Chain A
Amino acid sequence: MAKTRKREDSASPVMPARIFAQVSPRSIGGVSLFDAMGAVHAGTVANFRSEPRIIDAAVNRLRAAGFDVLQVTAWTINIAGSQETYEKAFRTRIEIERRTVIKPGGVEALAEFIECPDTPMPGLIAVAGTPFEEVIEGVAIEEPRYFMAAAAFPPPVPYWHLAVPADVALGLNAEKVHRSGISGGGIRVAMVDSGQYAHPFFAARGYRVAPVVLGPAAADPERDAVGHGTGESANIFAVAPDAELLPVKVNFVNSVGAFNAAAALDPQIITCSWGSSNRNGPLSAADQALAAAVAAAWAAGIVVIFSAGNGHYGFPAQHPDCIAAGGVCMAQDGSLRASDYASGFMSGIYPGRRVPDACGLVGMQPKAIYIMLPINPGCQIDSAYGGGAFPSGDQTGGDDGWGCFSGTSAAAPQLAGVAALVRQACPRLSPDEVRDILRKSARDVTLGNCNPASGGHPATAGPDLATGDGLVDAHKAVLLAKLRCLAPGPMVRREPGLGRNPPGAGAGQPVPLSTADIASIETLVIESELDR
């Protein structure tokens, strides 16, 4: 009886040069392995063994027919040969059939199966009427097989890198904050990127990830073909493990529309690890639409964070209504230097606008291979970085669901994590105040230079173009946020004439702290030994 399964595609794909199969020599129990259906189990498998003389005879005939015999067991013989060899030996024909399967990453796609149309069982070649009939029951052609899920644990690699969540949390001084009960709870962080794959890294830790929202013309909400969004989002959870991630998948024909979709979710924070490069303008109509959307989000109280670029003059990072995220590299001994992969520049579009504001943890040239991040198996990053030797490749598998990368794409979600902690500590802070806190509390970096393609500016004592105010410090940032919550009003735009004794405060009554008091305490915090 011939197969009647529906073929998915009538195009004629190329038959592989070597086709692999398992041959079953005649079983001692008298029932063919291929007739047993579900009856092969530990209690019956002995019935499907073959006598050594039968196995030897089968091996000899297969070799004589031109097959390579790769492995011989008591049950099966593994062979390889060309299409012509199979068709001639077994007096049949074989062809390729495309069927829908689930590939790595949960992606439904077509796969090519080699089939013999003369038998009803998928992948089976019958041998009746051939010289093999006496010694062989049948031939099972190998099928495509896929790794179905990545591991929750990253693979070991023999070079210095950071792991998520622990190393990134430690590097940004977030662990102390977590132990104080501030971990991003109640804060919604929207991330506009390539999508969000349900990697076990996230599920195993119980991170809160909302269903993917599709940006304009985007599709496949379960899929992240690049791996960028999935991987970089782990940086958010490393710093703010109890924040809720709102992934917005962008189709790269309309990043502006995707940003707007994120803004429409009304999150407290939007983080974007992408941008264009625009040194001196002018701004296109599309740029202006994005500039206006960023400004509107900021004015509505949403903290907006953009990556500064990796040698680019990042836009919208240079927009005045966002936090521009640059890069600092932390060595194994904890020392800090400006990342020569990350951008730093003075905007030629917005006078006086320095990029970056502050930095996250970013690796060095040539590829910033630095943070081991979870991605969907076989995605673009997995295959692009997998296999090669460090520092050109990440020395992980090309389909193992892990990739070591960073860039300012990693810095933006790290800053988003710190902003989430700050907003939890003091929800009433405006985006201007959150940025001010991240900058004031950052650890100054005085070594290294930013990416030469954006000017190669040196890191110096105090704010500079290489690292802005330095590497963000979650612990100090949250302390400052708590202090700000004690202040009577906003502290970024200070109101003149606010005295120590407000009207109505008489003798013997508690006197609230003034903005000047808070500013003085902030100075003490910033200059303190608290984080040492």
Chain B
Amino acid sequence: MPSKKDARISAQVILRPASGRTIVPQTPIDSGNLALFLPSPAAAIATADALRAGGLETGPPVAVSLSVSGTVAAFEKFFDAQIRLGGDGVYEFVREGRSLGPELSGDQLPTTLRGSVQTVAFIPPPAFGPTDFDR
């Protein structure tokens, strides 16, 4: 079921490492290897500028990512995809009726982001903590 267009949502924008490496699941990031995955400050600024120019809000860049927030309608316009809430409680991107899942990467990204962004990801709600009481 499509989400309400005026609902405010947020995703995390994971920037491309300046080293040319790629952030992969097999290499967990910690303080020992973090430097290998940091983006260039210029890329972070350019990404934030592009998102804001598209009517979205951005959070502070921390480590490898920054947050992007806005209405469902603004997300759909900027990312050229429908946004819907999946059965697992995580938002997902939909194009031409086909779910692309909670992440966009590579050619799925808007052209303005492809040079600086590796992935845009919707975040699942926590498995425990405040969500334990959500009934």
Bound CA–CA A259/B125 (angstroms): 13
Binary CB contact string for chain A from 373 to 384 against chain B (1 if under 8 A, 0 otherwise): 000000011001
A37: interface (CB < 8 Å): no
Q: Are B37 and A286 in contact (CB under 8 A)?
A: no
Bound CA–CA A452/B133 (angstroms): 21
Q: Are A295 and B69 in contact (CB under 8 A)?
A: no
Contacts of A349 in B (CB 8 A): 28
Q: Are A227 and B34 in contact (CB under 8 A)?
A: no
Bound CA–CA A314/B134 (angstroms): 19
Q: Which of B81-135 contact A (CB under 8 A)?
A: 91, 102-103, 105, 118-119, 121-135
Provide 17 A-B residue pairs closer than 8 Å at the C-beta atoms, listed in order of the A residue: A217-B69, A228-B133, A253-B122, A257-B10, A260-B60, A275-B129, A276-B124, A276-B126, A281-B28, A289-B14, A289-B63, A289-B64, A293-B65, A296-B31, A296-B62, A307-B128, A310-B128
14 additional contacts (CB under 8 A) given A263-B62, A277-B127, A286-B124: A193-B129, A215-B10, A228-B130, A229-B130, A253-B125, A256-B67, A263-B60, A275-B128, A285-B14, A285-B118, A286-B102, A293-B63, A349-B28, A384-B133
Binary CB contact string for chain A from 212 to 225 against chain B (1 if under 8 A, 0 otherwise): 00011101000000
Known A216-B10, A312-B127: A288·B64 in contact at CB below 8 Å: yes
Contacts of B127 in A (CB 8 A): 275-277, 309, 312
Q: Are B128 and A286 in contact (CB under 8 A)?
A: no
Q: Are B129 and A274 in contact (CB under 8 A)?
A: yes
A210: interface (CB < 8 Å): no
Bound CA–CA A7/B68 (angstroms): 37
Interchain nearest-CB distance for B81 vs A (Å): 16
Partner of A295 from the list B25, B57, B63, B105 (CB cut-off 8 Å) is B63
> Mostly helix, strand, loop or mixed at chain B's interface?
mixed
Known A227-B133, A260-B60: A285·B121 in contact at CB below 8 Å: yes
Q: Which of A292-345 contact B (CB under 8 A)?
A: 292-293, 295-299, 307, 309-310, 312, 314, 319-321
Interchain nearest-CB distance for B129 vs A (Å): 3
Known A261-B60, A292-B64: A312·B128 in contact at CB below 8 Å: yes
Q: Are A252 and B130 in contact (CB under 8 A)?
A: yes
B8: interface (CB < 8 Å): yes
> Mostly helix, strand, loop or mixed at chain A's interface?
mixed
Q: Are A288 and B23 in contact (CB under 8 A)?
A: yes
Q: Which of B7-39 contact A (CB under 8 A)?
A: 8-12, 14, 23, 25-26, 28-31, 34, 37
Q: Are B126 and A275 in contact (CB under 8 A)?
A: yes
- Minimum CB distance partner of A309 in chain B: B128
B54: interface (CB < 8 Å): no
A85: interface (CB < 8 Å): no
Q: Are A254 and B69 in contact (CB under 8 A)?
A: yes
Size bin of chain B's contact surface: 35 or more
Interchain nearest-CB distance for A415 vs B (Å): 15
Q: Are A295 and B31 in contact (CB under 8 A)?
A: yes
Q: Which of A182-235 contact B (CB under 8 A)?
A: 193-194, 215-217, 219, 226-229
Q: Are A260 and B130 in contact (CB under 8 A)?
A: no
Contacts of B64 in A (CB 8 A): 288-289, 292-293
Contacts of A173 in B (CB 8 A): none
Q: Are B126 and A255 in contact (CB under 8 A)?
A: yes
Q: Which residues of A contact B (CB under 8 A)?
A: 193-194, 215-217, 219, 226-229, 250-257, 259-261, 263-264, 272-277, 281-286, 288-289, 291-293, 295-299, 307, 309-310, 312, 314, 319-321, 349-350, 380-381, 384, 407, 409
- Minimum CB distance partner of A381 in chain B: B133
Contacts of B134 in A (CB 8 A): 226, 380
Contacts of A219 in B (CB 8 A): 8
The residue in B103, B119, B121, B132 that gathers the most chain A C-beta atoms within 10 A of its C-beta is B132
B55: interface (CB < 8 Å): no
Q: Are A286 and B121 in contact (CB under 8 A)?
A: yes
Interchain nearest-CB distance for B59 vs A (Å): 5
Q: Are B28 and A283 in contact (CB under 8 A)?
A: yes
Partner of B11 from the list A194, A227, A228, A254 (CB cut-off 8 Å) is A254
Q: Are A307 and B129 in contact (CB under 8 A)?
A: yes
Binary CB contact string for chain B from 49 to 61 against chain A (1 if under 8 A, 0 otherwise): 0000000010111
B73: interface (CB < 8 Å): no
Contacts of A321 in B (CB 8 A): 30-31
The residue in A217, A226, A261, A285 that gathers the most chain B C-beta atoms within 10 A of its C-beta is A285
Q: Are A264 and B129 in contact (CB under 8 A)?
A: no
Contacts of B123 in A (CB 8 A): 253-257, 286
Bound CA–CA A208/B128 (angstroms): 27
Interchain nearest-CB distance for B60 vs A (Å): 4
B66: interface (CB < 8 Å): yes
